[in-house]
Amino acid sequence: MSEISSNNQPIKFGGYYQPKEREVEDLTARVGPGTPCGEYLRRFWHPIMLRTQLDALPRAIRILSEDLVIYRDLSGDIGLLHKHCAHRGASLEFGIIADHGIRCCYHGWMYANDGTILETPGEPASSPHKDRYCQGAYPVIEYKDVIFAYLGPPELKPEFPILDAMVIPDDKMVPYLIHSPCNWQQVSENSMDPFHVPFLHTRVAGPQFSEVFEQLPIIEYHDTPYGFFYTNARRVGDYIWVRMHDHMVPNFSQNGAIFENVGKVRYFGRPGLTRWVVPTDDTNTMVIAWRHYNDRDDPQHQGDPHEVGVGKTDFFGQSGDRPYEERQRTPGDYEAWCSQGPITSHKREHLATTDRGVALLRRKLREEVQNLQKGVEPTRPTALNGSHIPTYGGDTILRIPANGGDDVKLVEEVSGKIAAAYIAFQDLPDTERRTAIANRLAPLNVGDTQAINPNQGKIFEFKPLA
Amino acid sequence: MSEISSNNQPIKFGGYYQPKEREVEDLTARVGPGTPCGEYLRRFWHPIMLRTQLDALPRAIRILSEDLVIYRDLSGDIGLLHKHCAHRGASLEFGIIADHGIRCCYHGWMYANDGTILETPGEPASSPHKDRYCQGAYPVIEYKDVIFAYLGPPELKPEFPILDAMVIPDDKMVPYLIHSPCNWQQVSENSMDPFHVPFLHTRVAGPQFSEVFEQLPIIEYHDTPYGFFYTNARRVGDYIWVRMHDHMVPNFSQNGAIFENVGKVRYFGRPGLTRWVVPTDDTNTMVIAWRHYNDRDDPQHQGDPHEVGVGKTDFFGQSGDRPYEERQRTPGDYEAWCSQGPITSHKREHLATTDRGVALLRRKLREEVQNLQKGVEPTRPTALNGSHIPTYGGDTILRIPANGGDDVKLVEEVSGKIAAAYIAFQDLPDTERRTAIANRLAPLNVGDTQAINPNQGKIFEFKPLA
Amino acid sequence: MSEISSNNQPIKFGGYYQPKEREVEDLTARVGPGTPCGEYLRRFWHPIMLRTQLDALPRAIRILSEDLVIYRDLSGDIGLLHKHCAHRGASLEFGIIADHGIRCCYHGWMYANDGTILETPGEPASSPHKDRYCQGAYPVIEYKDVIFAYLGPPELKPEFPILDAMVIPDDKMVPYLIHSPCNWQQVSENSMDPFHVPFLHTRVAGPQFSEVFEQLPIIEYHDTPYGFFYTNARRVGDYIWVRMHDHMVPNFSQNGAIFENVGKVRYFGRPGLTRWVVPTDDTNTMVIAWRHYNDRDDPQHQGDPHEVGVGKTDFFGQSGDRPYEERQRTPGDYEAWCSQGPITSHKREHLATTDRGVALLRRKLREEVQNLQKGVEPTRPTALNGSHIPTYGGDTILRIPANGGDDVKLVEEVSGKIAAAYIAFQDLPDTERRTAIANRLAPLNVGDTQAINPNQGKIFEFKPLA
């Protein structure tokens, strides 16, 4: 069957001939133990839970299709063990938390947080059991109210990566965790897709963030040793506004500022969001992220940290808890990614120019997975000078009014210069990097950079398309 | 294992030896794209929804195992598209309805109701995408408050069939739609099974329609160019009452009058019900039908159009919304067909004499499906003289008292004559057909045909069997 | 992958290398028709329901993965038939109960309780249908408020086994039925596992029955012609307390007294519980049991028959109706067996010394199933002298204070002597057996056997482990 008629035209009312393919990209969609992408994902630290979700009782969770139990022992340490006791399989969610480790309810076997069997109290003293095997265990790290785990081979455990955006001075970080009932790629790809913003978030059903986003952005993708970033450039009145967006494979991304605020020069602003997309299993996914709050990137305090936590965040359309009809009228990111179904099939898609970011991401992910299949362990960015891993996400705003020439070309050139500055100084320590970037970019400004543009955020008249 | 003992007797308490076969008749039970029966069903127009179910928002529906979105655009036209956008797969249930067509929420691609891509607004003007493929689309027709669709090859799209029963003069048609959680054949076969009526609807748990139905009917099946019909004859006092029942493969049927009213001569009465049994998928089915209201076939106005609509109708036992114990005490059609399970296995059945209609229907359906597998497209009745397709459903009542001879033979003969008259004049335009039938049958009446039988509907004393 | 490192040590944080096997022991876990264990289970009478669950309407039930309908006909007899009518498959849960048997709602076919087709009322009088086959039927027996069924080959139907514990003089028997959403073996094995008692029921989260159970018991397993029993011996002050526990394959067991009461000599006390573990299907199980109430085994009347019935019993932790967090804090048997998952995999377990009973049971069950596969029908205990089948379950308590020597050895020896007495007199009629046992054991007592130990049940200070 073909969806094209003999005269090479698409067939009207041709649903019958359309591909009904549901073939799944198993190479990158499946995340369980032993699957190619599951193995690849097991080479990274992933956030799995917020600190506030862990109280005095163990908690059954599911990560990368593995059933696990997490608990904080009475000494304050966190254990993350396979759910079923190595002895007779009772779930450790019914275990009794100990000073150090947890005790299975059934026969009282006691496990350390590293999986060591500390006691087999019904067995004779000479029993060799506890020296012969372990309870399955994974290391965890608690960092700024988020619990991270590493589910890979222990001998390959990487350093826990501290990113520069995790240690921004004078920055308040508040984490959230939101579940989506779909494959992780659908959620992850959304942030390598800057072209959904003018449509989903602005033109299609009214502005969800700012009218400014109605403008089609000028995008350039950059592949660095620290991952992808792309520049997202728009003219706003007398300003050229460039948002940088990070995307490190497999599942990390950072946005620019959540709430637009163009009307003042800014150099090397930092991300509004530091985010991981973590598979629960093949058809369930968690977004776990920190929102950043600081005066520089959110000068008007439009963000609201009290709205951020388990199941919720302070910006539009990230969860499924709105009424169905309201979600139909004003769909958000959640509707865009979940409504592709439990696992979408790339075979039925038709990627276009605007999907270049998605295509790059998919290719990179496939390469990395295939490399590991061949035995090549993934390379991971390492901290600079023992300090932090540089990222790019955040906004730079320069005062460069249109000069009567080709403005698209002007915006493109400025955007390219900003990206070049970010890259040139990426190996500098954080504050030096900002200073170096600012020094290089400052001369590009034209006119009074202190003047506040009174039209900030209101320059474009909203023209709904539908 | 055998269910028969060595002495050729059925084995008492022999559940162990009974077949526990659950093999499904895939040839006719499966309805998805590419299945033999799914292909066959895709050669016909099917009702899919009531007009009243379609409001200002798109609606996700499932027909023949395909996920679709239906909407009425701002111009009033209806679009029926594949659920997932051809671009990146977001569901069009979150699309924004336009003047003509619908726009995907994710990247703003706009589709016409025939699937044509009207806009790809994020793409460069020169983008060839919108001329290269289509969104999957199906044609729809709105007719008397019911929406029909055709899901087959567009080049084979048949005329929308207008049946005579859809244009009865002075007739009010009110549609209903009721879901059953079982395979479509279980629902469909019920109406080729006249012998369930004296049992399920009358003797077993008391009369649900009329005590008259307690009588075992005399049945003859007729296969015509317009489909099956059968005569369903009973003596009621001085009258011989013959109900005609239509059944066109794959899934169309018409009953006689819903509420019995024997006691006056009637020629060529018309159906109480014009009905399709439409598969949602292999294990979910919709009955979509019109109830007919007119003075001739329901002179006492026993029907109640206000009880007819989404999920309900005005006669007994068609839906699952009664309490379980009540449904156990007085089971109706819904319990008979659903309780066979999600998909019944014909292998565990034992068809008997009374199942001749079901057997005929199954054979016909198998033949048609197999013909299509061999490349023979199904024949479909076409309208007479560019007008309507004749059907047979409805009641004829003649005054012919028992004459002291073999009354079963008399009823049989009269029934045969009535069927012959229906067939003889089937190619006449509707009103001429009725006149011709009446003229031919009138001489068969005996005595005063105007006298109203005071016992109408109450002739038989109800004798519960259990 | 291996869970052991090259230096032969278990790998810390080695969850990645732990087996994630989920292979199911199909030989003994699957219970449907035609499966090896399903066939084996079909050689025995099983309780399937309580008398009080059967009222004036038929009831759809599921036993050994078969869908059945059970009803009490108007004469008071019980019928147990295949759910789907042999004619056209409608469920007999919508059948109409008759004086003798049940009538299908759809076409009025009438079935006797043995499956015989009594009427096919729509068929001609000469129809041979009702003599050619049967509705699947199984024999049932109602005994002391419990309904039992036999689902095997009728020609191999065994005698209904009357156990001595079912006819204890002056004993009140109250049945209960509780559902567990897991494989039957997980529930069944729990009672061949005496070593969970000191942990799950005592040390881990506080005493659920008695502090006395904190003590690790001295266990001996005995395999007799009537099934397994094991001795469960503890010292309690001046007494040696030996509980006998029965376990007959496939699924029968009896405990000692539910509520401990050590402080007075008792000979051949009888079980607190007569219990079957009956598979609904592979992942759902019913415990159906009688609780026994009599002055001898529960002299303080600690049991409460009013708490015993459908979904409940009068001792701790047998059902899932407590709040989740409460079940986490004080898990019971229900949590231990259900939390292993729908069907556990023995492959991921690590059996130890204390699992000897479980290992014995599994081996015995495998042997019996494999014997049947080879055509060897299972042997079943038969009644003695046409009377009852002897069992062992129940408590014997002797006054034998510690004598300053090796007390573990003393307890072991006494326990062995008690078991020997039970076995020696097992073929005597019930009351003679008790007398003979008492006569043989009485000389073992030391000192004043009438003195009540004031510390009964409070001898051990509870030392929580966690």
Contacts of C88 in chain B (CB under 8 A): 340, 349, 351, 355, 358
What number is the average pLDDT over the span A350-369? 96
User: Per-residue pLDDT averaged across A411-439, rounded?
Assistant: 94
> Which of B1, B2, B11, B13 should we substitute to test contact with C (largest number of C Cβ atoms within 10 Å)?
B13
> C86 to chain B: which residues are within 8 Å by CB?
18, 348-350
Q: What is the pLDDT of residue A453?
A: 47
pTM exceeding the 0.90 threshold for the entire prediction: yes
Residues of A with Cβ-Cβ distance to B106 under 8 angstroms: 196, 199-200, 336
Neighbours of chain A (3+ CB pairs under 8 A): B, C
What sections of C3-154 are H helices per DSSP?
26-29, 36-41, 129-132
Are the beta carbons of A10 and B151 separated by less than 8 Å? no
Give pLDDT, residue A460: 35
Q: What is the value of ipTM here, to two decimals?
A: 0.94
Is A115's CB within 8 Å of C14's CB? Answer: yes
Q: How far is A336 from chain B (nearest CA, A)?
A: 5
User: Which has more confidence, A5 or A378?
Assistant: A378
Contact A354 B106 (CB under 8 A): no
Q: Calculate the CA dihedral of residues A110, A116, A118, A120 and round it to 10 degrees.
A: 60
The pLDDT mean for chain A works out to 92
Which residues have CB under 8 Å from B91's CB, separation 6+?
Answer: A335, A339, A340, A341, B60, B69, B83, B84, B85
**What does the block give as tokens for C154?**
């009728």
Q: List subunits contacting chain B, requiring 3 or more Cβ pairs under 8 Å.
A: A, C
Angle of CA points C403, C409, C411, to nearest 5°: 75
Q: Is the pLDDT of residue A447 over 90?
A: no
Q: What's the pLDDT at B212?
A: 84
Closest CA–CA distance from residue A340 to any residue of chain B (Å): 5
- CB spacing of B139 vs A13 below 8 angstroms: yes
> Is the distance from CB of B291 to CB of B283 less than 8 angstroms?
no
pLDDT digits (tens, 9 = 90+) for A19-35: 886 789 999 999 999 99
Which of B17, B216, B328 is best to mutate for the C interface (most C CBs within 10 A)?
Answer: B328
> Helix (H, G, I), strand (E, B), or coil: what is residue C96?
strand
* Cβ–Cβ gap B115/A355 under 8 Å: no
Instruction: Give residue for tokens 């797969």.
Output: B89
Which string of b and e fits A312-329 if b means at least 16 CB within 10 Å?
Answer: ebbbebbbbebeeeebbe
The answer to whether A350 contacts B131, with C-beta atoms less than 8 Å apart, is no
* Residues of C whose CB is below 8 A from B200: 105-107
CA distance C357 to chain B (A): 33
| Residue A142 CB contacts under 8 Å (≥ 6 apart), including other chains | A51, A78, A148
Q: Can you say how many angstroms the Cα of residue A88 is from the centroid of all Cα atoms in its chain?
A: 38
C-alpha distance from residue B400 to each of B394, B444, B454, B458, C393 (Å) = 19, 7, 16, 18, 80
DSSP one-letter string for B49-117: EEGGG--SS-EEEEETTEEEEEEE-TTS-EEEEESB-TTT--BGGG-EE-SSSEE-TTT--EE-TTS-E
Give the number of residues written for chain B: 466
> A2: which DSSP letter?
-
Average of per-residue pLDDT across A107-127: 94
Which two structure tokens, joined as six digits, stand for C309?
Answer: 């019935």
Nearest-CA distance from C354 to chain B in Å? 39
Single-letter amino acid, residue B340? Q
Residue B55 to chain A, least CA–CA distance (Å): 11
Please, which pLDDT band fits residue A403 given cuts at 50, 70 and 90? very high
Residue of B16, B336, B352 lying closest to C90 (CB–CB): B336
Interface probe for C, chosen from A78, A94, A127 (most Cβ of C below 10 Å), is A94
Phi/psi of residue B441, nearest 5 degrees:
-85, -25
Is-contact B81 B115, C-beta < 8 A?
Answer: yes
Contact list in A for residue C15 (CB cut-off 8 A) is 66, 80-82, 115, 136-138, 151
| Ranges of chain B whose pLDDT falls below 70 | 1-8, 21, 385, 449-466
Site from B45, B107, B118 to mutate, A interface, most A CB atoms within 10 angstroms: B107
| Lowest-confidence segment of A18-27, C393-402, C444-453 by average pLDDT | C444-453
**Residues of C whose CB is below 8 A from A135:** 18
Q: Cα–Cα distances in Å, from A322 out to A311, A325, A329, B104, C59?
A: 12, 8, 11, 20, 41
Structure confidence at residue B465 (pLDDT)? 40
pLDDT of residue B1: 38
Which residue in the set A88, A124, A132 is minimally distant from C353, CB to CB?
A124
Distance CA A458, CA A262 (A): 10
Binary contact (B107, A195; C-beta < 8 A) = yes
For residues C355-368, give the mean pLDDT.
96
> Alpha-carbon distance B109 to A336, whole Å?
13
Residues of A in contact with C200 (CB under 8 A): 105-108
Residue B250: asked if its preceding bond is cis (omega within 30°), the reply is yes
Chain B residues in contact with C110 by the CB 8 A cut-off are: 465
Q: Is pLDDT at A5 greater than 60 in this prediction?
A: no
Chain A: closest CA distance from residue C205 (Å): 7
- The residues near A117 (Cβ < 8 Å, ≥ 6 apart) are A86, A109, A110, A111, A129, A130, A131, A133, A134, A135, C10
- Give the chain B residue whose CA is nearest to the CA of C85: B349
In Å, how far is A98's CA from the nearest CA of chain C?
Answer: 5
Q: What is the pLDDT of residues A260-278, one digit of tens each?
A: 778 889 999 999 999 999 9
Alpha-carbon distance of B291 to B255, in angstroms, equals 10
Angle between helices C407-424 and C430-441 in degrees, nearest 10: 150
List the chains bordering chain C where 3 or more Cβ pairs fall under 8 Å.
Answer: A, B
CA distance B339 to chain C (A): 5
* pLDDT for residue C85 is more than 70: yes
Contact at CB, C132 and B10, closer than 8 angstroms = yes
Q: What is the pLDDT of residue C330?
A: 96
Tell me if A348 and B86 make a contact (CB, 8 A cut-off).
yes
Q: What is the mean pLDDT of residues A417-430?
A: 93
Q: Are A249 and A361 in contact (CB under 8 A)?
A: yes
Q: How confident is the model at residue C5 (pLDDT cuts 50, 70, 90)?
A: low
Residues of C in contact with A73 (CB under 8 A): none
Q: Which long-range contacts (CB under 8 A, 24 or more apart) does C50-54 make?
A: C50/C145, C50/C146, C50/C147, C50/C175, C50/C176, C50/C177, C50/C288, C50/C309, C50/C310, C51/C142, C51/C145, C51/C146, C51/C147, C51/C175, C52/C145, C52/C309, C52/C310, C53/C177, C53/C310, C54/C78, C54/C147
pLDDT at A249: 95
Distance CA B373, CA A397 (A): 65
pLDDT at A456: 42
Cross-chain Cβ contact A88/C349 below 8 Å: yes
pLDDT-derived band of residue A464, with 50, 70 and 90 as boundaries?
very low
| Residue C151: pLDDT over 60 | yes
User: In the predicted model, what is the mean pLDDT of residues C403-409?
Assistant: 94
| Residue C1 reports pLDDT greater than 70 | no
Band of residue C465 on the pLDDT scale cut at 50, 70, 90:
very low
* Cβ-defined contact of B199 to C106 (cutoff 8 Å): yes
Decide: residue C346, CB within 10 A, 0-12 exposed, 13-18 middle, 19+ buried: middle
Chain A's closest residue to C21, CA to CA, is A33
Among candidates B16, B329, B350 on the partner chain, residue whose Cβ is nearest the Cβ of C154? B16
How many angstroms separate the CA atoms of C391 and C389, rounded? Answer: 7
CA distance B320 to chain A (A): 25
Query: In this predicted structure, what is the pLDDT of residue A463?
Result: 42
| Partners of residue A123 in chain C, C-beta under 8 Å | 352-354
Q: Mutate one of C35, C41, C88 to test the B interface: name it (highest B CB count within 10 A).
A: C88
Q: Cα(C399)–Cα(C443) distance, rounded to whole angstroms?
A: 10
pLDDT confidence of residue A465 = 39
**Minimal C-alpha gap between A281 and chain C (Å):** 15
Average pLDDT over residues C438-461: 67
Peptide bond before B181: cis, by omega within 30 degrees of 0?
A: no
Which one of B422-431, C207-216, C230-239, C427-436 scores highest in mean pLDDT? C230-239
Indicate the average pLDDT of chain C: 92
> What's the maximum distance between 2 C-alpha atoms anywhere in chain B?
89
Across the interface, of A198, A328, A344, the residue whose CB is closest to B58 is A328
